[in-house]
A and B are shown apart, each in its own frame.
Chain A
């Protein structure tokens, strides 16, 4: 049941879509509504006269639709992304011309309604078409209207002449007959030969005037043709200008993009440089931090050793005071205090380490440069060489002598180290 219902509905929709074109052809419910991007923007009041509607749309136009008052979709178009597009929508005998232009910001739509021309105009057009079809094989299109006019005039003149001749012939043939009774009202129409001659003269004048009129028409047509050529040239020039504008716009966009890329590249370069400098700075800070840590550690070691020395000194002072005889006099006490004072003085001196002098021998083949480098590293001064032993003096040792000498012994180029001069 549902399936049947759906099929019926689908059939109805298909039928509606199929009938749409037919409906649009014969539909005439005015006015026509204009929709841009499915939104109603205005109406064309086409009640038998020409009407136009121009709409400026703030957003980019995608679709334009024309609907009748009862909502039937009569026509439309998909707008281009950039540039313009036109469409001609036939609604019965009427028509609507759409012109859509999309710019960088928004777009415009021009809609022009043209009603069907009146009956006589359509008949004339049909006649013109038929004549055109006949004349198109023998004459160029530009002279067709002139030839048509001339032919028409010739036919007219021939008809008038035939009429005049017939009139004369009738006069001659009825000369012997009894003239019919003439009433005063009919008298002017029964003209003598002089009147006929006058009529002929008038016809000749008429023909001359027609010839002049034909000449004037031909001149006008030539002017019109020239005007059309000028308009064609003008529109071509306009198109060229429009395309030039588009090209310039694209060029500007390209340049803007190019400048943007250059700026991006420069900024990236500067950023990279800044990052490198930052990394180098960070590495330096890190190395300085490590060196600082090492120095703090060494300072702590020194302070600790200094503390130990002080404690030792104190302990030594206590031992001495215990070992001294209690019966000793005050003079002796002064003598006993002297070595302690001396030790304290030495201890004070030891807090400012004395220069360290040692002698060192090097491995065979060690270059002078390597020796110089080692001496520089330990911030020492080279002394004399005695029996292959190089004297080295450290003016401001920062470590205890034993530890320092151990470090020296561990150097690759060092063979042996001693603190006593060789004899």
Chain B
């Protein structure tokens, strides 16, 4: 049965390859980065389909697949992510056969324990919104700083106060907020496949059932935070209250504070309790989900 399933998937891939005439050239050896760029640029749709079909196959074989639009979007998103990495890293792998290089890159990614953050609830519209924000925060500092607003409702000044920053770091926080507001948030929404109608629906739900909406969001945020904290291994461990107190009192670990507290609501509250993150003008931080940027 497994074999039959695999054959079926492969035959679908074959037919996908047939649809793309440029795909045939991808199995030839390319010898220079320029040739790699040229050949790959002509076959991006075929490569995207291939990366997507592999991701779909991975979900099928691990029993996580379901025939719906949310899953289709999920595999498309990850297919595009793999393709982007392939375009960047592939240039350094010449001479190579691009088609098989993509296969190996995707296979290596899928061989990891948790290749991506998958949970059925993160495929709901609200789940996709939260996953889109947090997955972006794992690779972008603008998105990371913006999480303090989206998850805890803190503006730039409050972020600076809570994290105990000064000088150039403060300016950088304002710049992060500015860029996120200008282009970052819109790009994150588009990349997560969230339409304007869905955003309008979130706003309506938040206005009518604020408490329930926030409770749902908090549950998903806690789950996604636990996954995406792993993108920052040095900042993954949750320090003890004493360590937090010491860190704020001595003024070290600025980078740790920024990356960890954005992705760990419990530690933010601990840091608040021990006095490190406490400021007179701000209430104790809690999950207060915001849809739009500040």
- Interface of A toward B, CB cutoff 8 Å: 2, 5-6, 9-10, 12-14, 16-18, 20-21, 29, 33, 35, 38-41, 62-63, 65, 67-71, 73, 75-78, 85, 87
Contact = CB atoms under 8 A, between A and B. Distances in A.
Interface stretch (B71-79, B117-125, B241-249): B71-79
A14 B45 contact: yes
14 contacts: A10-B76, A20-B87, A38-B231, A39-B231, A40-B232, A41-B234, A70-B179, A71-B143, A71-B184, A73-B88, A76-B89, A76-B92, A78-B92, A78-B93
Contacts of A38: 231
B85 A17 contact: no
Interface in B82-114: 83-85, 87-93, 105, 108
Interface stretch (B7-15, B20-28, B188-196, B281-289): B188-196
B231 A40 contact: yes
B53 interface: no
Given A73-B139, A78-B93, 20 more contacts: A6-B72, A12-B193, A13-B76, A13-B80, A17-B83, A17-B87, A18-B41, A20-B84, A21-B87, A33-B139, A38-B231, A39-B231, A39-B232, A39-B233, A63-B85, A65-B89, A69-B142, A70-B140, A70-B183, A78-B92
Contacts of B79: 13
Given A9-B73, A10-B48, A13-B76, A62 B108 contact: yes
Contacts of A39: 230-233
Interface residues of B, number: 48
Contact of A71 (B89, B108, B140, B259): B140
Contact of B89 (A16, A18, A78): A78
Given A39-B233, A71-B136, A18 B44 contact: yes
Interface of B: 37, 41, 44-45, 48, 69, 72-73, 76-77, 79-80, 83-85, 87-93, 105, 108, 136, 138-143, 175-176, 179-180, 183-184, 187, 190-191, 193, 195, 230-234, 259
A13 B179 CA distance: 21
A67 B77 contact: no
Contact of A69 (B108, B140, B187, B193): B140
A33 B136 CA distance: 14
Nearest to B190: A12
Contacts of B184: 70-71
Contacts of A63: 85, 89
A32 to B, nearest CB: 11
Given A17-B80, A17-B84, A77 B89 contact: yes
A228 to B, nearest CB: 27
Nearest to B41: A18
Given A5-B195, A65-B88, A70-B183, A14 B44 contact: yes
Contact of B85 (A12, A41, A73, A85): A73
Contacts of A75: 88
Contacts of B108: 62
A20 to B, nearest CB: 6
Contacts of B44: 14, 17-18
A395 B239 CA distance: 96
A15 to B, nearest CB: 10
Which of A33, A38, A62 has the most CB atoms of chain B within a 10 A radius of its CB?
A38
Contacts of B83: 17
A69 B190 contact: no
Nearest to A76: B88
The 7 tightest CB contacts between A and B, nearest first, are A71-B140, A77-B92, A13-B80, A71-B139, A78-B89, A9-B193, A76-B88
Contacts of A67: 139-140
Contacts of B179: 29, 69-70
A268 B72 CA distance: 55
Contacts of A20: 84, 87
A6 B88 contact: no
A17 B142 contact: no
B84 A73 contact: yes
B111 to A, nearest CB: 11
With most chain B CB atoms within 10 A of its CB, the pick from A20, A41, A69 is: A69
B140 A76 contact: no
Contact of B191 (A13, A41, A70): A13
